[in-house]
């Protein structure tokens, strides 16, 4: 695997849209060619070389390309957007749309990320060691086709609107979340190891939400059914109170059984 190291120079005054910082774009390119790839600072088109020091060449394919991003990336958006393979490690904070519409590979952010990260994700792995802001693993605004696959793991807290219109995949949040978790959920799994304020599973018709802490205000559309033992994260078998809902919604049937969205609250 070849490694390309980018070091942010911090020369951008506005937010930088680094949508080409992906193994797919870097594959088969030398450091000089990578420096010539396009990016946007505000509405001005620029080259990656203007904003980053670039060291190392890309691998033959996206899968053999690893990208390490150093320096302050707090105002850099769209790192790893639409990537299909390979690996990205960002050693600082990142801005919005990091790992958006990702299809494969792995993105690790060692700091915090802003909103809309992991949006519309279809596959791969996205790990955030710090906190995430709003719309983590959600659908694009207005769209009804959200995350369909892959794994998002946030080791800190997340904001509002986690996993809106989720259809598949898994999101694990080690800390807390605030409002709107898995709204309009149609599949997939969300695990929150901390507490949630409220509006968990609103208009959800399918999928699972595990909460280890407390839900301060439960949605009225959910009903307690029984206690179950389940393994939300591999190797952690726990007892949960099982709720079904959202009962205000239409639910499909499979083999005569009605499918509900599930909330599992740790006992």
Partner 1 sequence: MNELLIRNAYVIDPVNGVNGEIRDITVKDGKIVESVGSRAVVVDAKGHLTLPGGIDSHTHICGTKVNFGRYMSPEDMRAGRGRAQPHMHAVSGYSVPTVYANNYRYSAMGYTTILEGAMAPMEARHTHEEFRHMTLHDTMANTLFDGNWSVMEAIAEGDLKKAAAVVAWTLSAVKGFGLKLTNPGGSEMWGFGKNVSCIHQKVDHFGVTPAEIIEYMIRANELLKLPHSVHLHCNNLGKPGNYKCTLETMNRTPDLNDKRQSLYLTHVQFHSYGGSKWSDLCSKSDDIAWMVNRKPQVAIDMGQVMFGKTTTMTADGPMEFNLYRMYHNKWSNHDVELETASGIIPVFYSRKNLVNSIMWAIGLELALQVKSPWQCMLTTDSPNGAPFVKYPEITALLMSRKYRDEELSRTHPDTEKRTLLHSLDRELDWYDIAVMTRSAQAKALGVTGLGKGHLGVGADADIAIYPVKVGDIDPTVEYEKVIKALSQTEYTIKKGLIVCRNGNCLVEGRNTVYWVDPQVPDEYRLENDPEFIKKFERYYSVKLSNYPVRESYMHENYRIETHPDFD
Q: Does 140 bind partner 1 (CB under 8 A)?
A: yes
**What does the alpha-carbon distance between residue 183 and residue 177 come to, in Å, rounded to a whole number?**
13
Q: Does 197 bind partner 1 (CB under 8 A)?
A: no
Judged on CB neighbours under 10 Å (0-12, 13-18, 19+), 181 is buried
Write the binding mask 85 to 124 for partner 1: x where contact by CB under 8 A, - elsewhere: ----------------------------------------
Among 44, 226, 250, 253, binds partner 1 (CB under 8 A): 250
Residues making up the chain, counted from first to last: 267
Cα distances (Å, whole numbers) of residue 262 to 138, 208, 210, 225, 234: 18, 5, 8, 10, 19
Cα distances (Å, whole numbers) of residue 134 to 35, 160, 200, 246: 32, 5, 15, 22
- Segment near partner 1 (CB under 8 A); pick from 34-42, 86-94, 139-147, 211-219: 139-147
Number of residues that bind partner 1 (CB under 8 A): 7
Q: Does 144 bind partner 1 (CB under 8 A)?
A: yes
Q: Does 249 bind partner 1 (CB under 8 A)?
A: yes
Q: Does 143 bind partner 1 (CB under 8 A)?
A: yes
Query: Would you state the structure tokens that stand for residue 149, as one six-digit string?
Result: 């696959």
Residue by residue, what is the 3-state secondary structure of 94-111? Answer: ECCCCCCCCCCCEEEECC
Q: Does 142 bind partner 1 (CB under 8 A)?
A: yes
Q: State how far Cα 150 lies from the chain centre.
A: 9
Q: Does 141 bind partner 1 (CB under 8 A)?
A: yes
- Segment near partner 1 (CB under 8 A); pick from 28-36, 45-53, 140-148, 216-224: 140-148
Q: Which of residues 146-185 bind partner 1 (CB under 8 A)?
A: none
**What does the alpha-carbon distance between residue 39 and residue 162 come to, in Å, rounded to a whole number?**
28
Q: Does 217 bind partner 1 (CB under 8 A)?
A: no
Q: Which is nearer to partner 1, 250 or 267 (CB)?
A: 250
Site residues (vs partner 1, CB under 8 A): 140-144, 249-250
């Amino acid at each position: 695997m070849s490694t390309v190291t980018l070091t942010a120079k911090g020369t951008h005054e506005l937010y930088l849209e680094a949508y080409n910082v992906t193994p797919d774009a870097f594959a088969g390119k030398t450091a000089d060619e990578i420096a010539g790839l396009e990016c946007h600072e505000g509405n001005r088109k620029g080259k990656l070389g203007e904003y980053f020091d670039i060291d190392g060449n890309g691998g033959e394919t996206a899968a053999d390309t690893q990208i390490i991003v150093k320096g302050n990336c707090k105002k850099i958006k769209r790192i790893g957007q639409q990537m299909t393979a390979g690996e990205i490690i960002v050693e600082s904070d990142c801005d919005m749309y990091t790992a958006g519409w990702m299809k494969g590979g792995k993105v690790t952010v060692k700091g915090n990320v802003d909103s809309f990260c992991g949006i519309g994700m279809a596959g791969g792995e996205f790990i955030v060691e710090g906190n995430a802001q709003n719309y983590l693993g959600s659908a694009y605004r207005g769209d009804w086709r959200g995350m369909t696959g892959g794994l998002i793991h946030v080791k800190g807290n997340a904001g509002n609107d986690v996993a809106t219109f989720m259809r598949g995949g898994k999101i694990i949040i080690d800390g807390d979340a605030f409002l709107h978790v898995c709204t309009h959920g149609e599949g997939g799994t969300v695990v929150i190891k901390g507490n949630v304020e409220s509006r968990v599973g609103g208009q959800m018709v399918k999928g699972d939400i595990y909460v280890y802490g407390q839900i301060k205000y439960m949605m009225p559309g959910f009903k307690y059914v029984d206690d179950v033992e389940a393994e939300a994260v591999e190797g952690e078998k726990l007892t949960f109170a099982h709720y079904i809902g959202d009962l205000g919604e239409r639910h499909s049937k499979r083999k005569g059984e009605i499918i509900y969205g599930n909330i599992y609250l740790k006992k």
